[in-house]
Structure 1
């Protein structure tokens, strides 16, 4: 079955029995959250007062990994001839994992504080001059994630071609993430794929890193790929998809962010008891619409009170058309007063109105009973 945008989303933070397991872990998770928040404050102060040197940046990167509970494993070797690394998009902290072990710079459109961007190895894509970077720092590679947004790992989004004018030879990197209890990325308001398009950092996903026991990143450095610039995006995508054993799709990140979060909910069914009561009211007041009866019963939960509400005009309704009379034996005629459209003001008028409607109700019920049993009543 072909993958769709809906199947590449994570709409729930928990799945299966993870909710129960996380609740058992929650007391320890809260302590962990407080401890890591204190570490984040140290990280913020240190990034402001310490000089911008390679050893300092490495120390801050290590402190950031401790803060977010990130552990990184690297498999394979980096090709020194490639100054561009291309990876799949898994989470908002992919750049931190790659920067910590590979010393890369990640291009993002996120609007984040400068100290935070520097710690995560992020540089604004709009302010990044590729030629100047490659001339000054040829040993510091650039990490590109051309998908443009994270997925749940079931498939690979279509690679855009904007990162590839930098050259015709790049090294693919396959990223996988493991975490107990919760999903790493959830597509929703302020998180997930929409964060990239909206140029805002997905803080909601990042905060869950602080409470999670551990998040393990595995970066697999694959052999370098050389191809003409126009064929390079598809070639790199196929290499990464084959290693991860997933499908390389033609779905764009914009389609993923616009995909409906859930299937349309099935029409709500009224409880059997409520439907039974509604039928009882309908038998007494056949011209009252069934939807109005159900709506009033949902509030009153009483057949008598609902009938009284309609008779006294407390609950307004639009009467249904009266059914055409059926030809049959002559039936006695009863004079039934028409219901009043305006609720009377005085108690005397309301009592009179109630008695008239009660007489009408009894007369109509008697007529239906006679017609139902085929009784013939002689007129006196």
Structure 2
């Protein structure tokens, strides 16, 4: 069964573990977060003071792993002939796990402070003028995650094309993350690929431990394949290793999916309610009904506001046929009584009058609906 877009994202932070365990851990989690924040300040100062050397960066990466509670397990060996690693995308700290274990460089468009980028092993893509730069440093592999954005790990997104033409040999890297209590990545309507997800990173500080498992797969050669075929072979190798499905969705579709679905569902529900109001109040313009429903979220309240005159509107003009010179003209089926000009004195009488008019209009609308759809319902 093919995965749908909503199956590839986590819209809720909590993963459904035992609530009692979560509540018992909550005080300890707050203490742990406070301790890690202090450790993060030490890391920030060290990143500013210490020189930008390989050994120093390794120390900073270790401190960053302690700060975020990241534990990394590395399986398999790196192919020294490959300068490019292609991995799936599951969290904002994938690059930290790869930098800590393999000293790799990860390409991102994130707008983060320089010390933070250096600690995570991040290089901005704008720093690389030519794609040949990737092969100039074979000792430090370049980590690419061409999905473009994270998923919940149940499927593999379609690779973007900006990184595929690099090199004729790449090594796939399968990444999985395990954590108790909370999901690693939560998708929000305003997610942007060039903004670091600080909220997801904050939950790394609270969680006791996040276990990253990195599995290096056998290298894949391009041979005579085109860029698209080569990308699909690498993607299929990752999917087989992770035992997940390959999908035809892109990160752009996934990112805007929840927002579009929620907006469409809300709009559909509003229009459904507006049609009900329109059947009761046929002279009220549909646009005014929709506008009022967006405020009240209730059919009954909307009808009441229009009947009591609380919401002004311009009645729609119904098309009236020209009268024919005939003495056997049938009277109209539905006649709404005109105002008598007498305003009830007491609130009780006004309420009864309003309820009578409302009941009559609902009954007429119901009868019109039955006749329109030719329903066999006893009135």
Indicate whether the TM-score tops 0.5. Answer: yes
Per-residue deviation at 1:316?
A: 8.8
Larger Rg: 1 or 2? 1
Q: Name the structure 1 match of 2:231.
A: 233
Q: Secondary structure at the match of 1:117?
A: helix
Distance of aligned partners of 1:181 and 1:339 in 2 relative to their CA distance in 1, 3 Å threshold: farther
1:214 correspondence with 2:204: no
1:149 correspondence with 2:149: yes
Per-residue deviation at 1:22?
A: 2.3
Q: Name the structure 1 match of 2:192.
A: 195
Alignment RMSD (CA, Å): 4.2
Q: Name the structure 2 match of 1:66.
A: 66
Q: Name the structure 1 match of 2:91.
A: 91
Per-residue deviation at 1:142?
A: 0.4
Distance of aligned partners of 1:314 and 1:259 in 2 relative to their CA distance in 1, 3 Å threshold: closer
Q: Matched residues in 2 for 1:296 and 1:155: separation?
A: 41
Q: Matched residues in 1 for 2:132 and 2:99: separation?
A: 20
Correspondences of 1:1-380 after superposition (within 5 Å): 1-128=1-128, 129-132=130-133, 134-135=135-136, 137-190=137-190, 194-196=191-193, 199-228=194-223, 230=226, 231-260=229-258, 264=265, 338=339, 353-355=343-345, 358=349, 361=353
Per-residue deviation at 1:353?
A: 4.3
Distance of aligned partners of 1:316 and 1:68 in 2 relative to their CA distance in 1, 3 Å threshold: same
Equivalent residue pairs, number: 319
Do the aligned partners of 2:17 and 2:180 also contact (CA within 8 Å) in 1? no
Per-residue deviation at 1:339?
A: 5.8
Per-residue deviation at 1:162?
A: 2.1
Per-residue deviation at 1:161?
A: 2.9
Q: Matched residues in 2 for 1:19 and 1:91: separation?
A: 24
Q: Secondary structure at the match of 1:172?
A: strand
Distance of aligned partners of 1:131 and 1:325 in 2 relative to their CA distance in 1, 3 Å threshold: closer
Per-residue deviation at 1:314?
A: 8.2
Do the aligned partners of 1:29 and 1:212 also contact (CA within 8 Å) in 2? yes
Distance of aligned partners of 1:325 and 1:111 in 2 relative to their CA distance in 1, 3 Å threshold: closer
Q: Secondary structure at the match of 1:110?
A: coil
Gaps of 5+ in 1: 269-290, 299-305, 327-335, 341-351, 369-380
Distance of aligned partners of 1:297 and 1:90 in 2 relative to their CA distance in 1, 3 Å threshold: closer
Distance of aligned partners of 1:318 and 1:127 in 2 relative to their CA distance in 1, 3 Å threshold: closer
Q: Name the structure 2 match of 1:287.
A: none
Q: Secondary structure at the match of 1:251?
A: coil
- TM value normalised by structure 2: 0.71
Do the aligned partners of 2:84 and 2:170 also contact (CA within 8 Å) in 1? yes
Distance of aligned partners of 1:133 and 1:337 in 2 relative to their CA distance in 1, 3 Å threshold: closer
Q: Deviation string for 1:237-271 (max 9, x for gaps)?
A: 00010111111111111110111256637969xxx
Per-residue deviation at 1:10?
A: 1.0
Per-residue deviation at 1:149?
A: 0.8
